[in-house]
């Protein structure tokens, strides 16, 4: 296990009376993509600001690439960090190229590589010459990603990076992030578009009201949440009561539209349930199942579950 690039230990951040982050511990390793999910005001952006050294923790310590990000000597650390802020804003009077040149100079990166960066994020040469004030949300977001990628960062903070992006662009966006992660960059993603994080994040951190509610891989979170897995059978004209009797207990049965029947069972039982359904089909040929689909609990549902649990406590 290599040295973590980000270490957050027992960090609390208060703004006056209001507590934005409560006692959070978090370690991120190189080459890891971690997704942080939570409501607006769950403390995601506050945590990122702490990691960037824009604010200082009220309690606890934050280490970024081995140093204190808020210290005066943090300049060399920030040279290796990329940041895409939520609701990114640029100076509207500057063109796309001028903007990226400005940030490249601040970071001490040669502006020669900027054309390649524009191409990588998919900003057209015609758009680069225009003022940022005329940009659409998607174009601004691409420019924001381009500046975050300047100088090949070792740590990348992305706060709601895909808002305002069309699906095609979203895909190429995650492709870029996947490549960076494979090259050893630590990526911290914040989002509430949970479904699109599936398959992207190595680890998910669920935040609520400043607290870390749950953490783990999607599979771990799934078994922690113990949400039912659902099996959907399409039975255009079948005898549903017959099916229910044969499949037996341990499965709740719901009728959905279009002749679809949904069987919900515990995640550990799903293989057994499929087997029982198959047996039922074998024994009685007049149960015409035309389709079968296994639906895992989505990140959305798990997220909602953890919030409910938190509220119940």
Partner 1 sequence: MNTLLIIASKEVRDGLRNRWVVATTLLMAALALTLSFLGAAPTGSVGVGPVEITIVSLSSLTIFLLPLIALLLSFDAVVGEIDRGTMTLLLSYPVARWQVLLGKFLGHAAIIAFATVLGYGAAGVALSMGDAEIGAESWKAFAAMIGSSVLLGAAFTALGYLASTIVRDRGTAAGIAVAVWLAFVLLYDMGLLGLLVADGGKNVNADVVNWLLLANPADTYRLFNLTGFKNVSLFAGTAGLAAQAQFSAPVLLGVLAAWVVAPLALAAALFSRKQI
- Residues in touch with partner 1 (CB under 8 A): 15, 49, 52, 54-56, 72, 74-79, 81, 83, 85, 87-91, 93-94, 98, 102-103, 105-108, 147, 157
Q: How far are the Cα atoms of 64, 81, 112 from residue 215, in angstroms, in the given order?
A: 20, 24, 41
Distance CA 121, CA 147 (A): 10
Distance CA 250, CA 246 (A): 12
Distance in Å, CB of 206 to partner 1, minimum: 24
Closer CB to partner 1, residue 70 or residue 304? 70
- Residues, the chain: 313
Closer CB to partner 1, residue 78 or residue 181? 78
Closer CB to partner 1, residue 142 or residue 230? 142
Closer CB to partner 1, residue 13 or residue 212? 13
Distance in Å, CB of 36 to partner 1, minimum: 17
Residue 155 CB contacts under 8 Å (≥ 6 apart), including other chains: 5, 6, 28, 64, 65, 80, 81, 82, 185, 186, 188
Distance in Å, CB of 28 to partner 1, minimum: 17
Distance in Å, CB of 23 to partner 1, minimum: 19
- In a 13 Å sphere around the CA of 139, the CA atoms on its Cβ side amount to 20
Closer CB to partner 1, residue 89 or residue 283? 89
Closer CB to partner 1, residue 147 or residue 208? 147
Q: Alpha helix locations (H) across the chain?
A: 44-52, 75-78, 96-107, 114-121, 125-128, 137-148, 167-182, 218-225, 240-247, 270-283, 299-312
Distance in Å, CB of 91 to partner 1, minimum: 6
Distance CA 45, CA 160 (A): 9
Distance in Å, CB of 72 to partner 1, minimum: 7
């Amino acid at each position: 296990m290599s040295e973590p690039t980000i270490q957050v230990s027992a960090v609390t951040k208060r703004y006056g009376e209001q507590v934005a982050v409560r006692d959070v511990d978090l370690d991120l390793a190189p080459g890891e993509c971690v997704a942080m999910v939570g409501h607006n005001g769950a403390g995601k952006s506050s945590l990122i600001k702490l990691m960037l050294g824009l604010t200082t923790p009220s309690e606890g310590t934050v280490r970024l690439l081995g140093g204190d990000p808020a210290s005066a000597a943090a300049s060399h650390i920030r040279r290796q960090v990329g940041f895409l802020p939520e609701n990114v804003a640029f100076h509207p009077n500057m063109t796309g190229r001028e903007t990226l040149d400005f940030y490249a100079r601040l970071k001490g990166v040669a502006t020669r590589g900027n054309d390649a960066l524009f191409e990588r994020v998919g900003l057209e040469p015609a758009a680069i010459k225009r003022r940022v004030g005329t940009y659409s949300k998607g174009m601004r977001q691409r420019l924001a990603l381009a500046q975050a990628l300047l100088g090949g960062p070792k740590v990348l903070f992305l706060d709601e990076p895909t808002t305002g992006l069309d699906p095609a662009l979203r895909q190429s966006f995650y492709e870029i992030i996947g490549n960076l992660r494979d090259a050893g960059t630590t990526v911290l993603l914040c989002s509430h578009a949970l479904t699109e994080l599936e398959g992207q994040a190595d680890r998910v951190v669920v935040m609520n009201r400043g607290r870390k509610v749950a953490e783990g891989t999607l599979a771990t979170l799934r078994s922690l949440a113990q949400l039912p897995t659902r099996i959907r059978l399409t039975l255009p004209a079948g005898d549903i009561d017959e099916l229910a009797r044969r499949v037996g207990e341990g499965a709740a049965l719901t009728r959905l539209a279009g002749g679809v029947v949904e069987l919900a069972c515990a995640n550990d039982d799903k293989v057994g349930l499929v087997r029982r359904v198959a047996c039922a089909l074998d024994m009685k040929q007049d149960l015409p199942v035309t389709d079968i689909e296994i639906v895992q609990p989505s990140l959305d549902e798990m997220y909602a579950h953890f919030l409910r649990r938190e509220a119940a406590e």
